[in-house]
């Protein structure tokens, strides 16, 4: 009985981990989406980055 219980608990745990991994792989963005997100970051625009540096320098004074 104890061995069967251990097997069932282990199988359930592996199943839950597998479902979690499957859900994680579905919701993570693909390579193309990652590139698009990086391209749209404010740091990608040199003018915007310079404005941010100036603003941060003023805040630190």
pLDDT band (50, 70, 90) for residue 37? confident
DSSP states along 19-58: HHHHHHHHHS--HHHHHHHHHTSGGGSHHHHHHHHHHHHH
Percentage of residues in the chain having pLDDT higher than 90 = 49
Give the number of domains in the chain: 1
- Across the range 5-15, mean pLDDT stands at 96
Encoding tokens for residue 42? 């404010």
Question: What is the span of the domain harbouring residue 50?
Answer: 2-60
Q: Which residues of 1-30 are buried (b: 16+ CB within 10 A; e: fewer)?
A: eeeeeeeeeeeeeeeeeeeeeeeeeeeeee
**pLDDT on residue 61:** 85
């Amino acid at each position: 009985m104890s061995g069967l219980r251990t097997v069932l608990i282990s199988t359930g745990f592996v199943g839950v981990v597998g479902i979690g991994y499957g859900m994680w792989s579905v919701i993570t963005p693909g390579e193309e989406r990652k590139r698009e997100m990086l391209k749209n970051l404010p740091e990608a625009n040199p003018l915007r980055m310079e404005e941010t540096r100036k603003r941060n320098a003023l805040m630190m004074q």
